[in-house]
């Protein structure tokens, strides 16, 4: 018998399936996992809560949704034909274009037949006797599989704050991360947006175009830099494609998996203030978060260096926003630039120069409740016809814990991670054999080009499963000490930077009660990849294989 294949016999019941691997999620990660594992000859079932493929790009249909990684790079590299045949229209792709691309991939590689849509996982339990995972779902479907590949995404557990009275509001309520299929209309309405992270900052300028009045309820200002999005010229795209493999390789050698403007080589003190400012201006004009954050080596490790850039961007905000009092409210002062995920916008700060847009500083006038007709703050009532929450996610761990995962001895993942996730290489957590997490906590994931990290993880998993098949192995778990050491390394690397200082979703600060642990690995993609390669070269060092 092939040791990778599940031992449970196939059931004829329509609500019970068996597979070699069950993949949860049909976004970039899940689709590629399905493709790779099928190519290994495995029987794969993919479970997806949405009615279609796309993952985050299915749910985030809000006005203005756009990627902040260049489109030519935010795409799969695994198929030269695919990357040659697809044409991107803009420097940074919009949500509809990315979703169209993902749908194309699903079609082109015939992946839909393996996906069960509109099916949310409600539990995942490891059976030690059968050496199988059993996943149950909200539709009654049960799947038994030897391997469980969690491709449920890092930013998929949307979070709406528990503001009193929210159920009473008579108008439509939206969350940026759960945007409905049916078109939402805001023309001539009085609209409230709560939240000014990356999502809010994209939505707000778009809504200002159509809304009668727009009220932005801001708790904490964020740094945002101009995207300077533009149509892609046919020639520049052709040139890029001609060198696609080389471009991908160069990108994989950078810390964030993107080409950018090249890795910085010198720290801020190596140039005088005038030269530095010239560089900051050039980067600001070039546009894109990555460009602005990467001219010097010490920007995310040294407070003084960071403040040179922080002050530059604060100056830009003050120059764009005409009303100085409003500008001051928009200027971030509570964190070092880049230590919370920096936002990328098109005309965000300019929006506040419009008469019908009002910034409500809810630190000065806290929201007391939501009424039938709007939002009540300590200063008065804001009449609203529609309300949008752009209030973020229970990031990285949230989607995994939501599946109610139980490992060996009935151990709940939620209990194992009560003080923070421990995941060897961000891939496998001990006590949960044969569970692979794609871009899990402790891997570069959200700290770079997600598609790049997804491909690297899925390749690792597929190679590992091939190794297991070839060596007649059926179980993989991580060594508890290797996992501890890796978690400690992830923490130490983060401590060398300014990242842990910010109250960001990177440390779970946006979720009351969530343990404060720095979730992604910030040692850079090349260092991470080399570690994975060394682990494999040393016979899957740190893993237990049976
Ligand atoms: P986010 O960055 O977590 O921002 C959430 C916003 O909601 C913050 O302004 C937060 O304020 C506010 N908020 C949360 N709870 C609140 C409450 N009870 N009352 C008032 N305000 C509240 O979430 P996001 O904007 O959805 O972005 C999440 C991540 O998704 C991004 O960092 C990025 O990685 C990704 N993303 C990327 C893009 C892109 O590629 N361009 C676009 C969208 C999202 P506080 O700061 O005070 O908590």
Distance of CA 390 from the midpoint of ligand 1 (Å): 6
CB contact set of 185 (below 8 Å; sequence gap of 6+): none
Find out whether the beta carbon of 34 lies less than 6 Å from any atom of ligand 1: no
Q: What is the reported pLDDT for 479? A: 97
Residue 389 has φ and ψ, to the nearest 5°, of -100, 120
Q: pTM (2 decimals)?
A: 0.96
Q: Is 126 helix (H, G, I), strand (E, B) or coil?
A: strand
Could you tell me which of 455, 460, 395, 405 has the C-alpha nearest to residue 427?
460
Orientation angle between helical segments 234-242 and 244-252, nearest 10 degrees: 70
Distance set, CA 115 to CA 53, 334, 407, 443 (Å): 9, 44, 24, 26
Q: What is the mean pLDDT of the chain?
A: 96
Nearest CA residue ID for atom 21, ligand 1: 195
Atom of ligand 1 nearest to the CA of 220: 47
Q: Is 367 helix (H, G, I), strand (E, B) or coil?
A: strand
Q: What is the reported pLDDT for 1? A: 38
User: Considering only 8-17, 231-240, 311-320, 333-342, which range has the smallest mean pLDDT?
Assistant: 8-17
In this prediction, residues 422-447 reach a mean pLDDT of: 98
Nearest CA residue ID for atom 37, ligand 1: 198
In this prediction, residues 422-442 reach a mean pLDDT of: 98
251-288 pLDDT, tens digit per residue, is 999 999 999 998 899 999 999 999 999 999 999 999 99
Determine the Cα angle at 181 with ends 114 and 124, to 5°.
40
Determine the Cα angle at 374 with ends 371 and 380, to 5°.
90
The percentage of the chain sitting over the pLDDT mark of 90, rounded to a whole number, equals: 97
Q: What is the reported pLDDT for 12? A: 47
CB contact set of 155 (below 8 Å; sequence gap of 6+): 56, 177, 393, 395, 446
Q: What is the reported pLDDT for 237? A: 98
Q: What is the reported pLDDT for 262? A: 86
Dmax (CA) of the chain = 73
* pLDDT classification of 13: cutoffs 50, 70, 90: low
Find out whether the beta carbon of 361 lies less than 6 Å from any atom of ligand 1: no
Nearest CA residue ID for atom 4, ligand 1: 197
Find out whether the beta carbon of 199 lies less than 6 Å from any atom of ligand 1: yes
Find out whether the beta carbon of 508 lies less than 6 Å from any atom of ligand 1: no
Structure-block tokens of residue 219: 């708790």
In this prediction, residues 524-536 reach a mean pLDDT of: 98
The 8-class DSSP code of residue 424 comes to B
Distance of CA 397 from the midpoint of ligand 1 (Å): 16
In this prediction, residues 279-307 reach a mean pLDDT of: 97
| Ligand 1 pocket test, candidate residues 163, 198, 342, most atoms within 8 A of CB | 198
Could you tell me which of 506, 530, 512 has the C-alpha nearest to residue 421?
506
Find out whether the beta carbon of 220 lies less than 6 Å from any atom of ligand 1: yes
Distance of CA 82 from the midpoint of ligand 1 (Å): 33
Q: Rounded to an integer, what is the distance from CA 273 to the centroid of its chain?
A: 35
19-59 pLDDT, tens digit per residue, is 999 999 999 999 999 999 999 999 999 999 999 999 999 99
Find out whether the beta carbon of 67 lies less than 6 Å from any atom of ligand 1: yes
Find out whether the beta carbon of 68 lies less than 6 Å from any atom of ligand 1: yes
Q: What is the reported pLDDT for 258? A: 94
* pLDDT classification of 9: cutoffs 50, 70, 90: very low
Distance of CA 258 from the midpoint of ligand 1 (Å): 23
Q: What is the reported pLDDT for 5? A: 45
413 in Cβ contact with 405 (< 8 Å) = yes
* pLDDT classification of 383: cutoffs 50, 70, 90: very high
Find out whether the beta carbon of 120 lies less than 6 Å from any atom of ligand 1: no
Nearest CA residue ID for atom 14, ligand 1: 391
User: Considering only 13-27, 225-239, 431-445, 512-526, which range has the smallest mean pLDDT?
Assistant: 13-27
Judged against a pLDDT cut of 50, whether residue 16 lies above it is answered with: yes
Find out whether the beta carbon of 201 lies less than 6 Å from any atom of ligand 1: no
Judged against a pLDDT cut of 90, whether residue 10 lies above it is answered with: no
In this prediction, residues 73-95 reach a mean pLDDT of: 98
Distance of CA 298 from the midpoint of ligand 1 (Å): 26
In this prediction, residues 74-81 reach a mean pLDDT of: 98
Nearest CA residue ID for atom 5, ligand 1: 391
360-377 pLDDT, tens digit per residue, is 999 999 999 999 999 999
Q: What is the CA radius of gyration of the chain?
A: 24
Task: Please give the helix or strand (H or E) that residue 277 lies within, else none.
Answer: helix 273-286
């Amino acid at each position: 018998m092939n040791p990778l294949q599940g031992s449970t016999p196939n059931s004829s019941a329509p609500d019970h399936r068996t597979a070699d691997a069950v993949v949860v999620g049909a976004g970039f990660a899940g689709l590629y996992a399905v493709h790779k594992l099928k190519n290994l000859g495995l029987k794969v079932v993919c479970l997806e809560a949405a009615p279609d493929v796309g993952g985050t790009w299915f749910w985030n249909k809000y006005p203005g949704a756009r990627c902040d990684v260049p489109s030519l790079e935010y795409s799969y590299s695994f198929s030269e034909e695919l990357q040659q045949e697809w044409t991107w229209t803009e420097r940074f792709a919009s949500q509809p274009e990315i979703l169209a691309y993902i749908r194309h991939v699903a079609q082109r590689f015939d992946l839909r037949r393996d996906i069960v849509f509109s099916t949310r996982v409600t539990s995942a339990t490891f059976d030690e006797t059968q050496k199988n995972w059993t996943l149950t779902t909200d539709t009654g479907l049960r799947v038994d599989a030897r391997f469980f590949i969690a491709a449920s995404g890092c930013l998929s557990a949307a979070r709406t704050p528990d503001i009193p009275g929210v159920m009473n509001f008579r108008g439509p309520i939206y969350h940026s991360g759960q945007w409905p299929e049916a078109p939402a209309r805001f023309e001539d309405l009085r609209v409230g947006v709560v939240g000014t992270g990356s999502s809010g900052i994209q939505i707000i300028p778009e809504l200002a175009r159509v809304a009668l009045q727009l009220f932005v309820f801001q708790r904490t200002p964020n740094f945002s830099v101009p995207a300077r999005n533009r149509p892609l010229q046919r020639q520049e795209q052709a040139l890029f494609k001609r060198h696609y493999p080389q471009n991908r390789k160069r990108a994989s050698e950078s810390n964030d998996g993107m080409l950018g403007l090249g890795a910085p080589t010198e720290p801020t003190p190596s140039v005088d203030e005038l030269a530095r400012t010239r560089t900051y201006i050039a980067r600001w004009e070039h546009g894109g978060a990555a460009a602005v954050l990467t001219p010097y080596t010490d920007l995310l490790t040294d407070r003084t260096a960071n403040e040179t850039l922080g002050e530059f961007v604060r100056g830009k905000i003050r120059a764009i926003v005409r009303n100085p009092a409003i500008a001051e409210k928009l200027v971030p002062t509570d964190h070092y630039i880049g230590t919370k995920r920096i936002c990328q916008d098109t005309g965000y700060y300019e929006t506040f120069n419009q008469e019908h847009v009002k910034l409500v500083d809810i630190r000065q006038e806290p929201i007391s409740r939501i009424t039938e007709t709007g939002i009540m703050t300590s200063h008065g009532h804001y009449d609203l016809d529609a309300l949008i929450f752009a209030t973020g996610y229970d990031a990285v761990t949230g989607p995994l814990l939501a599946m109610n995962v139980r490992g060996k001895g009935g151990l709940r993942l939620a209990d194992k991670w009560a003080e923070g996730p421990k995941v060897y290489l961000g891939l496998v957590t001990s006590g949960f054999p044969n569970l692979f997490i794609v871009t899990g906590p402790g891997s570069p994931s959200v700290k770079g080009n997600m598609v790049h990290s997804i491909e690297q993880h899925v390749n690792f998993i597929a190679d590992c499963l091939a190794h297991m098949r070839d060596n007649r192995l059926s179980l993989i778990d991580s060594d508890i000490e290797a996992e501890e050491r890796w978690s400690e390394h992830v923490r130490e690397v983060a401590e060398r930077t300014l990242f842990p200082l910010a109250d960001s979703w990177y440390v779970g600060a946006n979720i009351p009660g969530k343990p404060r642990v720095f979730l992604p690995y910030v040692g850079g993609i090349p260092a991470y990849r080399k570690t994975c390669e060394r682990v494999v070269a040393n016979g899957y060092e740190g893993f237990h294989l049976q």
